[in-house]
Amino acid sequence: MKKITVIGTGYVGLVSGAGISDFGNNVCCSDIDKEKIELLNKGEIPIYEPSLDELVNRNVKSKRLIFSNNVEDSVQSAEVIFIAVGTPEDKTGNADITTILEVAELIGKNLNNYKVICTKSTVPVGTGKKIIDVINKYNQNNIEFDYCSNPEFLREGKAVSDFLHPDRVVLGVASKKAYDYMKDVYRTLYINKTPLIHTTIETAEMIKYAANAFLALKISYINEVANLCDEIGADINIVTEALGSDGRISPKFLHPGPGFGGSCFPKDTKALIHVAKKYDLDMNTIDAAIKTNNYQRIRMFNKIENLLEGNLKNKKIAVLGLAFKQETDDVRESAAIDIILELINREVSIKAYDPVANDSMKKLIPDIEYKLSWQSAVKECDAVVIMTEWNEFRGMNLEELKELMFTPIILDTRNILNISELKRLEFKFDNVGRK
């Protein structure tokens, strides 16, 4: 087993560091953010992810996992270094790798013996070569090192399970020595017959973008089918059940809704298009997926407007669900943001509630009323909009909901409510593809 340093304690870095330590390695999660490191050393997890606290605490207790803000020392003491810092979207739609290259410079300056430098962050094709060039520039003593592209495939809300039980591990490395190092890091998975895909650096980088773009395509496709179901009176739930039973298609990511969000799909689809443009190539299907996703949010707002017969001014509307999906507090690119901002523009009074994402949304949109329960959010409202598929909303007592509301009007953008019950209780309602 190896001595590992993970640079970056955000979503990918913390899950990866804790997971790698659970495989039996000694891991130091390192970050320049002193406040975050202090929280972690106190046993506090700065992000919401089911089972992550248990995974972290187990490995801290076993002394396989530590946290440090001394990044230079953690680089020098490691055999394998994982780069897991953010690559946000820049103004051109490409991934901003500024922080990645800053980390590469720091690593180059602190190389003291052979190491494998491994990137977990999602980066455009060709970034590996740039990282190698930067490390070489600052590697004044010509210390030997190898580079590996090891993309993550973590679903927010299921990241711990995804890391500990992956479908595959992709290792883009050029040397057998580096591949053997990485096999040792993932030995627990290797001996359990998890596929290790050994490929080039560029191919590994491409695999990550291709996977996310394909999943985004599936979501946009099923949303378009759901929209057509709305118009012709078909039931999208039965359509997706039939599609998903086809082994060539599978049921995953065939859930219609307000459009994809989060930190990956919106950013990665745009980045892939940006890479293709450098080679004078069009990515027509992916471009269409992005356009469909943007349109889907407009369509959801139009549904609200139709339910209220165009009379939105001074109405009170409850927005239930702020995270881009359930089991996370991540509101990045959440469809709820677009809906809330458009409602504000129409002079609507908004009460919002999410089981875990209130504070995250408050940082982006501070001037609306946040509630601590769905009951307090819907009380005396003219309409309710469900934006996230939390089980808490699936299990709402619809009779209680009707009693609390001023008028029983509801838009279910996640298709989680019982239509028969809504009809029985005489709600005025809409959903996505189930008219």
CA 430 vs. chain centroid, Å, equals 27
Contact 10, 84 (CB under 8 A): yes
Residues 211 and 178 in one domain: no
Contact 118, 290 (CB under 8 A): no
Contact 28, 4 (CB under 8 A): yes
Tokens coding 149: 């592209």
pLDDT the model gives residue 3: 95
Residues 141 and 262 in one domain: no
Last residue of a domain, one of 182, 199, 216: 199
pLDDT the model gives residue 30: 97
Count: domains in the chain: 2
Residues 231 and 166 in one domain: no
pLDDT the model gives residue 305: 96
Residues 34 and 157 in one domain: yes
Residues 161 and 216 in one domain: no
DSSP state of 155: P
Which contiguous run of DSSP H or E holds residue 99? helix 98-109
DSSP 271-289: HHHHHHHHTT---HHHHHH
Contact 222, 289 (CB under 8 A): no
CA distances from 276 to 4, 92, 175, 271, 307 (A): 34, 13, 28, 9, 42
Residues 144 and 244 in one domain: no
Q: Report the distance separating Cα 286 and Cα 293, nearest Å.
A: 11
Helices (H), 194-334: 201-232, 236-244, 265-278, 284-307
pLDDT the model gives residue 263: 87
Residues 108 and 164 in one domain: yes
Residues 209 and 172 in one domain: no
Q: What is the pLDDT along the chain (435 residues), one digit of tens a residue?
A: 889 999 999 999 999 999 999 999 999 999 999 999 999 999 999 999 999 999 999 999 999 999 999 999 999 999 999 999 999 888 887 889 999 999 999 999 999 999 999 999 999 999 999 999 999 999 999 999 999 999 999 999 999 999 999 999 999 999 999 999 999 999 999 899 999 999 999 999 999 999 999 999 999 999 999 999 999 999 999 999 999 999 999 999 999 999 999 989 999 999 999 989 989 999 999 999 999 999 999 999 999 999 999 899 999 999 999 999 999 999 999 999 999 999 999 999 999 999 999 999 999 999 999 999 999 999 999 999 999 999 999 999 999 999 999 999 999 999 999 999 999 999 999 999 997
Catalytic residues: 264
160 by Cβ neighbours in 10 Å (0-12 / 13-18 / 19+) ranks as: buried
DSSP 56-68: HHHHHHTTSEEEE
Instruction: Tell me the angle at which helices 11-22 and 52-61 cross, rounded to the nearest 10 degrees.
Output: 50
Q: Report the distance separating Cα 50 and Cα 105, nearest Å.
A: 34
pLDDT the model gives residue 89: 85
Residues 233 and 328 in one domain: yes
Residues 292 and 149 in one domain: no
pLDDT the model gives residue 159: 95
Last residue of a domain, one of 141, 171, 199: 199
What are φ and ψ of residue 250, in 5° steps? 75, 155
Tokens coding 401: 């909901």
321 by Cβ neighbours in 10 Å (0-12 / 13-18 / 19+) ranks as: buried
pLDDT the model gives residue 367: 93
Strand segments, DSSP code E, in 297-348 are 316-320
Contact 316, 380 (CB under 8 A): yes
Contact 416, 389 (CB under 8 A): yes
Dihedral sign computed on CA atoms, order 277, 283, 288, 294:
negative
Tell me which residue range forms the domain holding 258: 204-435
Question: Strand pairing of 169-173 and 145-149?
Answer: antiparallel
Residues 159 and 307 in one domain: no
Last residue of a domain, one of 148, 172, 199: 199
Give the CATH number, domain containing residue 22.
3.40.50.720
Residues 304 and 272 in one domain: yes
Q: Report the distance separating Cα 59 and Cα 14, nearest Å.
A: 12
Which of 166, 353, 154 lies closest to 262, judged by CA? 154
